[in-house]
Structure formats: structure tokens, C-alpha cells
Structure 1
Amino acid sequence: MNSSRSRLRRLIGLPALCLLAAAAGCSSADGSASVVVPRPGAAAAKLCRNLDEVLPSTVDGLRRADPEPASTLTAAWGSNAIILRCGVARPPKMVDPTVADGGDPDAVAGGVNGVDWLMEKQDDGSYRYTTASRKAYVEVRTEKGRDASGVLVDLAPALKKAIPEGLAF
């Protein structure tokens, strides 16, 4: 079992994320209409404001309808079916890529359309996606049962435009 988990962590790309998301389903952590606004440093906050300006009006077929409280650091589509938070802290499960076979079996790395993601299985069975190798961490959560592949594909152009590659601030 350990060897299959090790191979799974090494899978990179949309097929790996699609398969896992479809098999397990996705949901927001608490299903509430309010979202905790991150508190990044000034440099990351500036990048997040830039991201807010270029985010698509529609993601995975759902129109943008931002959560409360209103902030340029958060966005939502489909009345919180998809929630984005920019400037979040580095996830504890994010593994240094130079560490061989490190990490957590419930955390999988993959890339979608030029954006690297860490996908973490949550205690409630849902998943959280956090960008990796970008100057600010961006977290995306989806409601239970939503395949995240379309979400990550739709968000990739805005992320690549607004959040440069590199180490997060």
C-alpha cells in the first residue's frame, strides 16, 4: 500500500487531479456563506489585488458571486460553490520538492495548465487546492461532489497572469 501511495504522490498533471477529485468529491470546509479573509503581507496582498482584477466572471459554468465579508482577497462563484482565498499561509503539508518521498499520503501535488497545486484531503472527505511555486499562496475549495478539474483549468490563466512563479512572500 505504501508503494502505491508513493507513486500516487509523484503523479503530475490534470489526469491525476481529475481522477482523485472525481472519486472523492469536493466541498468547502464549513458550507457557510461567510469566508475568513486572509491577512497576507503587503507584497502578497498587492499580488492578490492584481489577481482579483483578472479573475474570470464565470468558473466551471458558475457566475461570480463573492462571499461576505467583501474583500479583494476572496472570491466565489455559484453562491460559494467555489471559493478562492488569496494570500493564505503556506499549508503545513506542502513538501519541499527536494525531499525525496516526503509528505503526507493525503496530499498530492499536480499541475494544471501551467499552475502547480497541492491537493489535500480534508477530515470531512473534501479537498482543498493550494497553489505551489507562486509568489503568493492561493487556496481554492469546491463544494462536495464538484469535479475540480474545470475549476482549476478556468482559474489558471488569471493565476499565471497575476501571481508570478517563485517562492511565496
Structure 2
Amino acid sequence: MTFFRPRHAALLGLPVIAVLTAVTGCFSSDDSTSVAVPNPGAKAAELCRKLETVLPRTLDGHRREDPEPRSALTAAWGSPATAIILRCGVERPAKMTDPKVAAGDDPKAVGGGVNGVDWLMEKQDDGSTRLTTALREAYVEVTVPEGDDVSGVLVGLAAGVKKAIPKGIAD
């Protein structure tokens, strides 16, 4: 037995599928950034909650648009695809104790300070820069997308970090 499918029915189905795919894509797009929430100890979590209350509404010209899931330990500025992401209470980065970084011999990582806050700055393979506070009682990690002004971000965050996260060594 042979099944026959009229040619015009098959051609009619392609445009309908294309339209449905386009419409579905418009409604299913996610307009928020998804970020892994750190799981710090109680002391760091308390400091991070304090930091969350003093973070700027805008950072380097980007409006604050917090990521999902909502948490006092995370923040974001800018559109989801190119957001500046902050995570507070992260683990100490391995590079922070790398002698090559301390000696200035690592081309992808360098330490430095901006407005009284010390940072480890690591260039990522995707072109972004990951910044992690140093010599503070909680580690704050900020990821700045390629093309954004890292120095503007550091200047914008310095006052809040100094106010909420005291100098010291994180546990």
C-alpha cells in the first residue's frame, strides 16, 4: 500500500512551522541572567547581605538588573547577554596564592588596587575579566564582559566594598 501526500499540503506546512517557531521563540526568550549563587559561611553571608544594600543602582553606565535566582549574594548590571555580574561569598581563587601572579609572571592574572580595594584580575578565555577582592573578610567576584571598562567598574564598586566588607583575611 502506498501513501500519497499532496504536494501543496507539504508546501503549506513549511511556512506555518516557520511562523510558529518564530512566535514561540519570541515568547520563550528569557530576559534575565542566570547566575550560580555562592554558598558562603555565616560570617561571609552576613557581610554579603550588607554589601547588597550599598551596591550602586548603575555601574559603568549600566542599570542594575539582578540575575535569577534572586539572592542577596548576587547582582548584575546591563542586559543579560552582556551583564556585569557580581557574586559575593565565593571561594578564594587558586590564582590568589600562585607565586607566578605575585611575581608578575602570569600574563592572564595580575593584582592591583583601586580606591582602597585590592583585586585579583584574571583575563578569561572568552575575553571577559574576572575580578576578585583580596584582603577582605569575604571574597567578592565580579565578571566584566569584553569591551566594558574594567577600571570604571572597579571605581564604581570601591565605596560599597569598603563600606560593607572589612579588611582582613576571608575564612
TM-score class, shorter-chain normalisation, is 0.7 to 0.9
**1:101 counterpart (95, 100, 103):** 103
The 2-side partners of 1:165 and 1:124 are apart by 31
The 1-side partners of 2:156 and 2:39 are apart by 25
The 1-side partners of 2:58 and 2:160 are apart by 12
Q: Does 1:67 align with 2:67?
A: yes
**CA contact under 8 A between 2:111 and 2:118: conserved in structure 1?**
yes
Q: Percent identity?
A: 72
How much has 1:148 moved relative to structure 2?
Answer: 0.9
TM-score by length of 2: 0.74
Question: Following superposition, which runs of at least 4 residues in structure 1 exceed 6 angstroms of deviation?
Answer: none
**CA contact under 8 A between 2:111 and 2:121: conserved in structure 1?**
yes
Higher alpha-carbon deviation: 88-97 or 75-84: 88-97
**CA contact under 8 A between 1:94 and 1:103: conserved in structure 2?**
no
SS of 1:94's partner is helix
Match of 1:113 in 2: 115
Unmatched runs of 5 consecutive residues or more in structure 1: 1-31
SS of 2:112's partner is strand
How has the CA–CA distance of structure 1 residues 133 and 69 changed in structure 2, closer, same or farther, with 3 Å as cutoff? same
C-alpha distance after superposition, 1:64-114 (max 9, x if no partner): 1100000000001113421100000000100278x9637633210000000
Select the structure with the greater relative contact order (CA < 8 A; seq sep ≥ 6): 1
How has the CA–CA distance of structure 1 residues 147 and 45 changed in structure 2, closer, same or farther, with 3 Å as cutoff? same
Unmatched runs of 5 consecutive residues or more in structure 2: 1-31
How has the CA–CA distance of structure 1 residues 108 and 74 changed in structure 2, closer, same or farther, with 3 Å as cutoff? same
The 1-side partners of 2:104 and 2:66 are apart by 36
- Report the count of equivalent residues: 137
**CA contact under 8 A between 1:74 and 1:84: conserved in structure 2?**
yes
SS of 2:34's partner is coil
Alignment of 1:1-169 (within 5 A): 33-80=33-80, 81-95=83-97, 101=103, 104-169=106-171
Structure that is richer in helix per residue: 2
Q: Which amino acid aligns with 1:64?
A: R
